Chain A
Amino acid sequence: MSNPQQLRYTKEHEWLSTAEDGVATVGITEFAANALGDVVYAQLPAVGDTVTAGETCGELESTKSVSDLYSPVTGEVVASNQDVVDDPSLVNSAPFEGGWLFKVRVAGEPEELLSADEYTAFSAG
């Protein structure tokens, strides 16, 4: 699997896109999706919620487990992916694309995010 170069990553296995007009997209990595197994339920932050970098903002549930979703960035949620709520398997089939989770109007520069290469090394270790 390959982690897109243009994204940045957390050690909790979320990815964050580069902000466009101040809005960045958040999802989980293919590595995380594979580790979870089939995602069957996604509880995402609602539009208007404030999320804080490093804090939980939702949960992803798979056949065998439930995982907290951490926000990689602080800001206001401006969109959450209804397609994933309706069909959580999108997180498995397209974690970097159609399986995105929510969009945030970034209030503060996130710290300690990993580059694609750094994350690849981290998740392999």
Chain B
Amino acid sequence: MSTAPRLTALDALHRSLGATMTDFAGWDMPLRYASERDEHVAVRTKAGLFDLSHMGEITVTGPQAVDLLDFALVGNISTVGNGRARYTMICQEDGGILDDLIVYRLAETEYMVVANASNAQIVLDALVARSGGFDAEVRDDRDAYALIAVQGPESPGILKSITDADLDGLKYYAGLPGTVAGVPALIARTGYTGEDGFELFLKPEHAEGVWKALTEAGEGVGLIPCGLSCRDTLRLEAGMPLYGHELTTALTPFDAGLGRVVKFEKPGDFVGRKALEAAAERAETAPPRKLVGLIAEGRRVPRAGFSVVKDGVVIGEVTSGAPSPTLGRPIAIAYVDAAHAAPGTEGVGVDIRGTHEPYEVVALPFYKRQK
């Protein structure tokens, strides 16, 4: 197996824009083009353009596609209407999270599952393994799509100028096929930034043309290309989990405070049901640790793996941390012992290279957009 990083269809374009590239889950991806802070602010106040072609698309089709997904995933996919999308997870038999996903219903019996790049193969393998006995086909479509996102308050206006699709009728977490800059695309109103925005699934050969058309359409309203660095600080401010940080196979959705994605009321069995029922009960009665937000009083930045401390004792661990451009202070998401997880808990700090820096415990998210 080759270890050379994979390149997206927009690779040459990123290099011509002077992007700093980084290896991410085996892909060579733009980390930032110039200042990641400026990119972050652009998405919050105007618009940003992202190449997300590393995300893993898996298509599930057939008369029993929905039954397979209801069995393989923890969500109730039967209730997803045509043209709608759902945030969900795929778990192990023991309830551990394999990945978090968005499932788009593209047609009556056609669904697209979008997995994280780092887990796409695992999700594909699990779906195939769980498809036995169902009249459904699981197809690896990772190479069939490029994915471009335009995110931020100006994004509806920008996209509207180059598409015939009815964006006003396209709700959050919905997707419809349309034409963007003259080429076919699946237009979804989803994102990972905490802002309004769209994700465009395209044929890779169309990616460059659409990127350029969006750049042109957004020129007058402050759209700039954005890398994965600001995507991380945007999702962190919005309190959205990142697989490998807040979500792992050692944790159930209930441990991560996302038990709402598990739908016990759906008919039939699903992988992990029994273990998750126990996890739900545990989370209710005796939660070991809870996911909280931390805001620094100082300026030193907490990073994943740093200890959360109180009175010199370790009470938790940081899973993600970064300077927050919106708050102007460092922020973190951390798992903290339930006894110290209440917002406003006094005396909580983060061990930053040996110094216990004071932090305020807050409820997530750090940032919520005004609608």
Contacts and interface: CB of A to CB of B under 8 A. Distances in A.
B42 to A, nearest CB: 13
Most buried by A among B20, B31, B37, B322: B37
B36 interface: yes
Contacts of B229: 37, 63-64
B300 A38 contact: no
Interface string A53-88: 000000001011010000000000000000000000
B36 A41 contact: no
A26 interface: no
B362 interface: no
Interface in B203-234: 229, 233
Given A37-B32, A37-B229, A63 B37 contact: yes
A40 B299 CA distance: 8
A61 B300 contact: yes
Contacts of A34: 20
Contacts of B37: 38, 63, 89
A37 B36 CA distance: 7
B323 interface: yes
A92 interface: yes
Contacts of A89: 37
Contacts of B35: 37-38, 92
B290 to A, nearest CB: 26
Contacts of A38: 35-37, 323
A24 B98 CA distance: 55
| Contact residues on A (Cβ < 8 Å of other chain), bracket | 10 to 19
Nearest to B303: A66
A41 B299 CA distance: 6
A31 to B, nearest CB: 12
B326 to A, nearest CB: 13
Contact of B36 (A43, A61, A63, A66): A63
B300 A41 contact: yes
B162 interface: no
A38 B330 CA distance: 13
B109 to A, nearest CB: 43
Given A63-B229, A63-B322, A40 B301 contact: yes
B301 A41 contact: yes
A66 B322 CA distance: 11
B32 A66 contact: no
Contacts of B303: 66
Contacts of B322: 63-64
Given A40-B323, A41-B323, A63 B233 contact: yes
Interface string B32-47: 1001110000000000
Contacts of B301: 40-41, 61, 66
A37 B353 CA distance: 21
Contacts of A61: 299-301, 323
Contacts of A37: 20, 31-32, 35-36, 229
Query: Which 8 pairs between the two chains have the least Cβ-Cβ distance?
Result: A40-B323, A41-B299, A38-B37, A63-B36, A61-B301, A38-B35, A37-B36, A38-B36
11 contacts: A37-B20, A40-B299, A40-B323, A41-B301, A41-B330, A43-B300, A61-B323, A63-B233, A63-B323, A64-B322, A66-B353
Interface of B: 20, 31-32, 35-37, 229, 233, 299-301, 303, 322-323, 330, 353
